[in-house]
Amino acid sequence: MILENLPLWITYVIGAIIFFLIWWPLAVIFLEICILSIILHMGLICPHCYHYGTNTCPSGYGMVSTKWFSPGRKQEFSVVFKRWIWVVFPGWILPPLGAGYLLVQDWKSIPVWVLLIAFCIVGFLILPIVSKQYGCKKCRNKSNCPWGPD
Ligand code: SF4
């Protein structure tokens, strides 16, 4: 579970550092948006998932979700996933935009380039590999996964 969540947490930390460099309250707002997007994911998507209420959810959201949200219809998972997956997009889109803003101010800033590249490597390379290797392998939603079966 830690392995599945770690890359996501790292992208949130890198994103927060990027926004801290712009103006520190933006880092707090960014982290609040990330937390909100996780809660929305748990409320809108997880109740329809086969891993809801089980300890087989790779990220652990499925267990936490049962504390706050009622179960949904499992056969609608694919439709619900496609409809609501955008709730996690801010965590992916905002940090590169923030880094872009900083690089417009000073395109030679090595720390900003390092943060941007680190964000892209962890978020767009390591995280999908970890998900495919661990989460997706054991997933019971495979047959109707919106990303397609393995
Ligand atoms: S596998 Fe994904 S959708 Fe299913 S309960 Fe876990 S986090 Fe939610």
For the chain, 150 residues long, the average pLDDT of each consecutive 10-residue run is: 89 98 98 97 94 87 93 91 95 97 97 98 94 75 62
**Beta carbon of 77 within 6 Å of any ligand 1 atom:** no
CB 126 within 8 A of CB 35: no
**Beta carbon of 57 within 6 Å of any ligand 1 atom:** yes
Residue 108 lies in a domain: yes
- Residue whose Cα lies nearest atom 7 of ligand 1: it is 61
Tally of domains within the chain: 1
Tell me how many helices (H) and strands (E) the chain has. 7, 0
Residue 56: φ, ψ to 5°: -95, -5
Q: Which domain holds residue 108?
A: 2-144
Nearest of 134, 99, 137 to residue 14 by alpha carbon: 99
**Beta carbon of 8 within 6 Å of any ligand 1 atom:** no
Q: Which residues contact 17 (CB under 8 A, 6 or more apart)?
A: 27, 115
Give the DSSP H/E element, type plus range, for residue 65.
helix 61-68
Atom of ligand 1 nearest to the CA of 52: 5
Other C-beta atoms within 10 Å of 83: how many?
Answer: 13
C-alpha span between 52 and 23 (Å, rounded): 38
Three-state secondary structure call for residue 51: coil
Nearest of 5, 135, 87, 125 to residue 147 by alpha carbon: 135
Packing angle of the helix pair 24-44, 2-22 (nearest 10 deg)? 150
Residue 59 lies in a domain: yes
Atom of ligand 1 nearest to the CA of 60: 6
CB 118 within 8 A of CB 13: no
Residue 150 lies in a domain: no
At 147 the pLDDT is: 60
At 141 the pLDDT is: 72
Residue 18 lies in a domain: yes
- Residue whose Cα lies nearest atom 3 of ligand 1: it is 46
C-alpha span between 116 and 99 (Å, rounded): 6
